[in-house]
Structure 1
Amino acid sequence: MVGLIGIAIIFIMVFGGYLLAGGKMGIILKTLPFEMIMIGGAAVGAFVIGNDVPAIKHTIKDVGKVFKGPKWAAEDYRDLLCLLYELIRVARSSPVALEEHIENPPESSIFGRYPKVSADSEAVALICDTLRSVSMNYDDPHQVEEVLEKRIEASLHHKMHSTHALQTIADGLPALGIVAAVLGVIKTMGSIDQPPEVLGKLIGGALVGTFLGVFLAYGLVGPFAVKVKTVIEEDSHFYQLIREVLVANLHQHATNICIEVGRQNTPGHFRPSFSDLEEALKSAKQEAA
């Protein structure tokens, strides 16, 4: 919703100001379809040249993040902390009983109580792989933390590809606008024998290309790239929280302390209060009983 409001403000302010200043939309509307074919088509072609099919699909999918926002909400962070709390309790009381949960998460009663977290394969793999390695005596906190950090960084780097692709398009659009404008000038030069009013319209049409390239770059595609990057970085905190809690567990802190470490590392606008988390953990205990 916020993204749509931003787009509306851009169009209203730019074209509203133009009309209030006495500008006429006739030339722009007449030239716009042809300029869009040249500029937009060239931008899409360059995008296809510079990316493989998975990257193209990934970028198109990520554009939706501009309007949807972050995947994880405050209740998801709370659920994640409750899930980790239950798994750590089981791991410490009965390591054998933990195996049924980490070896087959879709059938796990613990994972089943948190469907949104369980539906995220990356989060589930991060949790299960780490707990499995601990059961195999790979439990040096510093080594595990380093492995998890590199794993999360690699995943984040991959997800950031769409923002780089969008930013590359934004960087190229002004130049493509100039290309379209030059073609318009070439067309105008072919009609140099026409009266001034005709030449004025042709030159105005040519300048629409420059305007459109700059407008698309700095008014739409560039902000889209920034928003996608912001959302991806914000969602990455979810996986960093998993790392913090599991590493705290390896340091043999009390289970409640491990979860408190996670709560403290939750982004401020998503962080549950101490009392709210206590209530959620009590409910989790009752459901597990």
Structure 2
Amino acid sequence: MIGFVGIGVIFVMVFGGYILAGGKLGIILKSLPFEMMMIGGAAVGAFLVGNDMDTVKHTLKDMGKVFKGPKWKHADYQDLLCLLFELIRLARQNPVAIEEHIEAPAESAIFSKYTKILSDREAIGLICDTMRSASMNYDDPHQVEEVLDKRMEANLHHSLHSSHALQTVADGLPALGIVAAVLGVIKTMGSIDQPPEVLGKMIGGALVGTFLGVFLAYGLVGPFANKVKSVVEEDAHFYHLIREVLIANLHNHATNICIEVGRQNTPSHNRPSFSDLEEALKAVKQDAA
């Protein structure tokens, strides 16, 4: 919602200020389709040239994050802690019983309680692969920690491709605006024999290209890239929480301590309170009983 508000504020303030200052929209509206065709078309073409199809699809999908915000909400972090509590508790009580859950999470009675988490392939992969490593009696938890760090770093790097691609487009838009403006000046010079009022409108139309390139870069595409990056980094905390809890488990801390480590490493605005989490864990124990 705030994304739509922000875009509205941009357009109202820029064009509202222009109109209140005595500017006329006629020249802008007349030139806009042609300038947008040159600048927008060139930007889209450069975007396609500079990225593979997977990145293109990923970027188009991620642009929705500007309006949707982070995928993982406050309740999801509490659900994740409850899920990890159940899994660690079962793994310590009955190491054999945990295998059916981590080998086939889609059929697991535990995972099926948390459908949103179950639908995320990366989260399930992190949980199952790490717990599988624990069941193989890794002697050095630091080795698993290193593997997890590299995996999460690679996943974050891949997830940030779309924001980098958008930022590259934003960086190029002012230059493309200058290209469109130069073409407008060339067109004007070809009509140098026209009266001043005609030349004035043609020069004004040419300058629309410069305006449009800068406006799109710093008013829309650049902020889109920054928002996508911030949302991706915000969602990465969810996977970081998985790492913290499971590494604590590999160090053989008590189950409640492992979960508390995860709670403490949850971002403050998504962190469940100690009492709320205790109530949720009590409910988990009662269901298991």
Shorter-chain TM-score bucket reads over 0.9
Measured in 2, the distance between the counterparts of 1:57 and 1:224 equals: 16
Q: Match of 2:132?
A: 132
Give, in angstroms, the shift of residue 152 of structure 1: 0.3
Give, in angstroms, the shift of residue 284 of structure 1: 1.0
Measured in 1, the distance between the counterparts of 2:286 and 2:186 equals: 77
Instruction: Select between 112-121 and 38-47 the one with higher mean Cα deviation.
Output: 112-121
Measured in 1, the distance between the counterparts of 2:286 and 2:239 equals: 26
Measured in 2, the distance between the counterparts of 1:189 and 1:202 equals: 10
Counterpart of 1:248 in structure 2: which amino acid?
A
Measured in 1, the distance between the counterparts of 2:138 and 2:239 equals: 20
Relative distance call for 1:106 and 1:76 in structure 2 (3 A) is same
Measured in 2, the distance between the counterparts of 1:233 and 1:172 equals: 24
- What SS is found at the alignment partner of 1:252? coil
How do residues 29-40 of structure 1 correspond to structure 2 at under 5 angstroms? 29-40=29-40
Measured in 1, the distance between the counterparts of 2:54 and 2:227 equals: 21
Counterpart of 1:283 in structure 2: which amino acid?
A
How do residues 244-255 of structure 1 correspond to structure 2 at under 5 angstroms? 244-255=244-255
How do residues 87-102 of structure 1 correspond to structure 2 at under 5 angstroms? 87-102=87-102
Measured in 1, the distance between the counterparts of 2:177 and 2:284 equals: 58
Q: Match of 1:240?
A: 240
- What SS is found at the alignment partner of 2:137? coil
Measured in 2, the distance between the counterparts of 1:30 and 1:287 equals: 67
Contact 1:106 1:118 (8 Å CA) reproduced: yes
1:209 to 2:198 alignment: no
Q: Match of 2:257?
A: 257
Residues paired across the two proteins, number:
289
Render the CA deviation track for 1:223-277: whole Å, top value 9, x for unaligned: 0000000000000000000000000011111100000000000000000000000
Give, in angstroms, the shift of residue 138 of structure 1: 2.0
Measured in 1, the distance between the counterparts of 2:99 and 2:166 equals: 43
Measured in 2, the distance between the counterparts of 1:254 and 1:218 equals: 51
1:170 to 2:154 alignment: no
Measured in 1, the distance between the counterparts of 2:236 and 2:162 equals: 15
- What SS is found at the alignment partner of 1:95? coil
Render the CA deviation track for 1:105-158: whole Å, top value 9, x for unaligned: 011010011111111010001000000111111252211111101100000000
Measured in 2, the distance between the counterparts of 1:52 and 1:139 equals: 41
- What SS is found at the alignment partner of 2:4? helix
Q: Match of 2:74?
A: 74
Contact 1:170 1:221 (8 Å CA) reproduced: yes
Counterpart of 2:159 in structure 1: which amino acid?
K
Contact 1:43 1:172 (8 Å CA) reproduced: yes
Instruction: Select between 268-277 and 129-138 the one with higher mean Cα deviation.
Output: 129-138
How do residues 217-232 of structure 1 correspond to structure 2 at under 5 angstroms? 217-232=217-232
Counterpart of 2:127 in structure 1: which amino acid?
I
Measured in 1, the distance between the counterparts of 2:258 and 2:135 equals: 18
TM-score when scaled to structure 2?
A: 0.99
Q: Match of 1:187?
A: 187
Counterpart of 2:285 in structure 1: which amino acid?
K
Q: Match of 1:18?
A: 18
Contact 1:133 1:139 (8 Å CA) reproduced: no
Measured in 1, the distance between the counterparts of 2:139 and 2:228 equals: 36
Contact 1:245 1:259 (8 Å CA) reproduced: yes
Contact 1:81 1:262 (8 Å CA) reproduced: yes
Measured in 1, the distance between the counterparts of 2:105 and 2:144 equals: 21
TM-score when scaled to structure 1?
A: 0.99
Counterpart of 2:186 in structure 1: which amino acid?
I
| Gaps in structure 2 of 5+ consecutive residues | none
- How large is the Cα RMSD of the aligned pairs? 0.6
How do residues 2-13 of structure 1 correspond to structure 2 at under 5 angstroms? 2-13=2-13
Counterpart of 1:173 in structure 2: which amino acid?
L
Q: Match of 1:122?
A: 122
Identical aligned residues as a percent: 79
- What SS is found at the alignment partner of 2:197? helix
Counterpart of 1:22 in structure 2: which amino acid?
G
Large movers: runs of 4+ above 4 Å? none
Measured in 1, the distance between the counterparts of 2:64 and 2:86 equals: 34
How do residues 50-61 of structure 1 correspond to structure 2 at under 5 angstroms? 50-61=50-61
